[in-house]
């Protein structure tokens, strides 16, 4: 996965050659915020997309797309979007609920008999809803993955998780666990008898009109379209290394997808507009429990996060963290604006991502005010 250590060049401390599509070269607050992420926080590149109610989209870049060459950041380039994948997986499950093929309050044992059992773990007590809302108590497999990058099957990931004790009894607490969404993906495949990638493409990607979003096939380590390279550090302060090309099977239904900021804006807007789910299932998706893991006042629904806005109201999205990339954003509950921001590393300083969250908040509040 590593392609040698890289040092951020001086060129990464300046804005890329493209300015926001505003009809003016003058940078606005989003552009200034991206510039600061590169100049002050040291991220190699930052990209943003802001969509207003009328559908007008502005795209922004800062930094460089390749630390070795200093090449420009592709405007609205593809990135690995990590756990935003969970929202896509949840939509597919909830569509199956609407079709009468899956029951939200039916046990996992019904769909995957004999699979989910272990110390304090009983698939008869874990419902589909508890998977999607992270209230199952299942341990997360990610901390127990091997250091060596290798292909994983969904069954491998579940086996790793089930070697460990339940975190709590089903329904008694909330804790984020990627294991939940691997099992949700397995249920989709079991019920539809089709590969998860095909179902997500047919049910969600095509239906939402996403032209630059896909679920990589097994062994597909590349990013298909124009993209900034993603970087990682082996330890805080260590040199950045190129982690762009990797086998994403360790994340599968919990975090494997590739997309763009603009496509994520389009997806979350379509979802909250009711274009992807019947009203009953969208209502269930937006029924939330506290999830401070995502920040003060955050709440988790079924594969989607609700966060408070500084200007009042809330916005809905998910965000994602994966090797080389972090993404944050979503759509206002009143649908007046959507914004997503990506950076091309996983910052070790949590304050950096807090600043990214602040940029999302500012973009959603300003755009909504202007479009009102």
User: Is residue 370 over pLDDT 90?
Assistant: no
| Beta-carbon contacts of residue 251 (< 8 Å; ≥ 6 apart) | 82, 85, 178, 322
In the chain, what percentage of residues exceed pLDDT 70?
A: 91
Q: What domains does the chain contain, in order, with CATH numbers?
A: 29-365 (3.40.710.10)
Instruction: Answer yes or no: 83 catalytic.
Output: yes
Per-residue pLDDT tens for 291-325?
999 999 999 999 999 999 999 999 999 999 999 99
Mean local confidence (pLDDT), 134-139:
98
User: Is residue 23 over pLDDT 70?
Assistant: no
Q: Which of 21-35, 56-70, 133-147, 214-228 has the lowest mean pLDDT?
A: 21-35
Per-residue pLDDT tens for 238-292?
899 999 999 999 999 999 999 999 999 999 999 999 999 999 999 999 999 999 9
Tokens matching residue 34: 């991206």
Per-residue pLDDT tens for 167-225?
999 999 999 999 999 999 999 999 999 999 999 999 999 999 999 999 999 889 999 99
271 closest CA partner among 17, 120, 52, 92: 92
A 10 A CB-CB count for 241 gives: 19
User: Is residue 160 over pLDDT 90?
Assistant: yes
Tell me which of 12, 24, 83, 310 is the catalytic residue: 83
Quick one: pLDDT at residue 368? 54
């Amino acid at each position: 996965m590593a392609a040698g250590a890289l040092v951020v060049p001086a060129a990464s401390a300046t804005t890329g050659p493209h300015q926001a599509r505003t009809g003016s070269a003058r940078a606005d607050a989003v552009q200034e915020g991206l510039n600061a992420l590169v100049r002050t926080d040291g991220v190699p590149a930052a990209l943003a997309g802001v969509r207003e109610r009328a559908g007008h989209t502005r795209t922004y870049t800062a930094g460089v797309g390749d630390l070795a060459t200093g090449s420009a950041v592709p405007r609205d380039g593809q990135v690995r979007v990590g756990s935003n994948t969970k929202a896509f997986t949840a939509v597919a499950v909830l569509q199956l609920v609407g079709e009468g093929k899956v029951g939200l309050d039916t046990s996992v044992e019904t769909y995957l008999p004999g699979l989910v059992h272990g110390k304090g773990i009983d698939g008869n007590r874990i419902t589909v809803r508890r998977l999607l809302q992270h209230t199952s108590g299942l341990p997360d497999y990610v901390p127990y993955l091997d250091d060596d990058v290798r292909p994983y099957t969904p069954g491998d990931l579940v086996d790793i998780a089930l070697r460990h004790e339940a975190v709590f009894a089903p329904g008694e607490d909330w804790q984020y666990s990627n294991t939940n969404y691997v099992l949700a993906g397995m249920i989709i495949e079991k019920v539809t008898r089709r590969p998860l990638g095909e179902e997500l493409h047919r049910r969600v990607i095509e239906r939402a009109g996403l032209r630059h979003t896909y679920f990589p096939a097994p062994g597909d380590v590349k990013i298909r379209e124009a993209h900034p390279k993603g970087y990682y550090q082996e330890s805080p302060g260590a040199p950045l290394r190129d982690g762009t090309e990797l086998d994403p099977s360790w994340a599968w239904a919990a975090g494997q997808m590739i997309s763009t900021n603009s496509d994520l804006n389009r997806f979350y807007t379509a979802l909250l507009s009711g274009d992807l789910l019947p009203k009953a299932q969208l209502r269930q998706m937006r029924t939330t429990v506290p999830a401070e893991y995502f920040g003060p006042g955050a709440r988790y629904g079924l594969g989607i996060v609700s966060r408070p806005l500084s200007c009042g109201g809330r916005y809905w999205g998910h965000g994602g963290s994966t090797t080389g990339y972090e993404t944050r954003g979503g759509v206002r509950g009143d649908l007046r604006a959507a914004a997503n921001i990506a950076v091309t590393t996983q910052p070790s300083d949590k304050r950096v991502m807090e600043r990214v969250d602040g940029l999302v908040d500012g973009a959603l509040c300003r755009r909504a005010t202007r479009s009102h």
